[in-house]
Amino acid sequence: MYNAIRLNETLVTRARAAAEAIADDIQRHIEEHTTDSSERATLRLLGVAGVNDIDVPLVNVVIEQARELLPGGVTRPFVDLMIRTGKSAQEVAEGVAAGALALDEVPAEHRAAAELRAAELATQGVARIDAVRRRREELVAACGEALKPYVYVIVATGNIYEDAAQAQAAARAGADVIAVIRTTAQSLLDYVPYGKTTEGFGGTYATQENFRLMRAALDEVGAELGRYIRLCNYASGLCMPEIATMGALERLDMMLNDSMYGIIFRNINMQRTFVDQYLSRLINARAGIIINTGEDNYLTTADAFEKGYTVVSSDFINEAFALRANLEPWQIGLGHAFEINPATPDQVVYQIADAQLIRQLFPEYPLKYMPPTKYMPGDIFQGHIIDGMFNFTGIFTGQEIMLLGMLTEALHTPLLQDRYVSIKNAKYVFESCRHLADEVEFRSGGIIEKRADDVLTRAAEQLEHVQRIGLFKALEDGEFADVKRDPRGGRGFEGVFKTRDDYFNPFFAALREGRRSGPPTGPAPGESVRASQEVAS
């Protein structure tokens, strides 16, 4: 257990109350709207998959042909068509795509039957997610969990088979979480590509088949090593709830899932993405997936020393959104980063203050701590030392998800040996400093306490300002990351629909029912190697 900074609890209460009010305001918007991608996710949850004869995803084809029906939701007319034709969800989607079937408003006398059948199908769809979650729990119970903080590294070759090979090598070197970086600009695509892919730029396409292949590779190496290896990808951008659905069905363990990041750094329309985020987080909550948020990126466009308080503000807002979407505390991986300019006197002291503050504000959450990138030098030796100080700050302040820095961050996409050296650095620092925080106290009135108080004060003041003007206006004004966004601009605004009073989607209720609590647990790492091999086989 770490020692604590003395915090002004009145400021904490003010900040959390303002964030709750901000989230409540956006939640009203969410409940009055639906989107293209939320309706497509609903079809995927019903069992629709695949593409048409020109490789357009069937869910896109169906939704495009049903746009006038979306204010009432696609579920009722789609299920009514299933009942009338006696066909499965997949067969109906294929028929609509071929022009042989057409969706239409459901007559009043048929509504009750359509809604009853849709509720049954929603229960079945959620049961598929529950079964995948149980499988994870079985594997973790057999293999055991890694000792935290999780060692988190990325792969990004563009070729899923190369990614799998690199991921297995990283796991053997000591990685606990593998994140597959998406190909550049996939977040701006208003569809999810289909099938396995071997070409990408700066990353690999997020597809359901790619998820399946990488999950199989990590299960294989996890059985070999006797510990469960977690898989991470991105449920963000224009297809948040669809990718969350795919991740839930293919047993991903973590997903980058944050509308604020999409709005600010990908110019995704804010009115759309908050609606999509809610459904995607309900799915992640049900699937037992840990979400990660993207506040670390704020410090790549704004100064980390002067604007560090914006990270804290956004963490409070993301906490409020996450709790409204049924996510348990152990699933809420709020983000922050080690990004103060290394030339700043006492840089590491200030980094410790910021990290310790966030750890204490959110004590139950598996915080995701990001490495230095903005000021990483071309000098690989200096970069390696800076990464070491990041690792030190992380273990000293009790961070739980450590995305490792690479000594070649400023030069090229990391190679296998770069990851090996990075993991070796982290493992040394984590083990040599594991209980250091138990042995020290923070000086009253010292640099760390004063910095934490200043950041918290400014965060509370910012949150109260955002509460007064509304989050849409705050994003328009550039309150976060010094980036301004138009509430009616950005990608995807044309895919937002005001819902009618009779809007119907039974998946919202089905995902909330039978809410489960607690992370998967198992024996200590390395304790049940034989059992893990038996389960995996």
Q: Which residues are catalytic?
A: 261, 296, 368
The answer to whether the beta carbons of residues 499 and 32 sit under 8 Å apart is yes
Name the 3-class secondary structure at 102. coil
> Using CB atoms within 10 A of its CB, is residue 139 exposed (0-12), middle (13-18) or buried (19+)?
buried
Taking Cα atoms as reference points, which of 423, 530, 456, 516 lies closest to residue 143? 530
How many beta carbons lie within 10 A of that of residue 515, not counting itself?
Answer: 10
Cα separation, 145 vs 523, whole angstroms = 7
* 243-273: b (≥16 Cβ within 10 Å) or e: bbbbbbbbbbbbbbbbbbbbbbbbbbbbbbb
Long-range residue pairs from 103-107, CB within 8 A, at least 24 positions apart, any chain: 103/62, 103/65, 103/66, 103/69, 103/74, 103/77, 103/78, 104/69, 104/77, 105/69, 105/72, 105/77, 106/76, 106/77, 106/80
Token pair 């990464």 in the structure block, residue? 387
178 strand-pairing partners: 153, 231
Give the dihedral sign, CA 410/411/414/417.
negative
3-state helix, strand, coil in the chain (%, to 5): 55, 10, 35
Token pair 């995927």 in the structure block, residue? 44
How many beta carbons lie within 10 A of that of residue 85, not counting itself?
Answer: 13
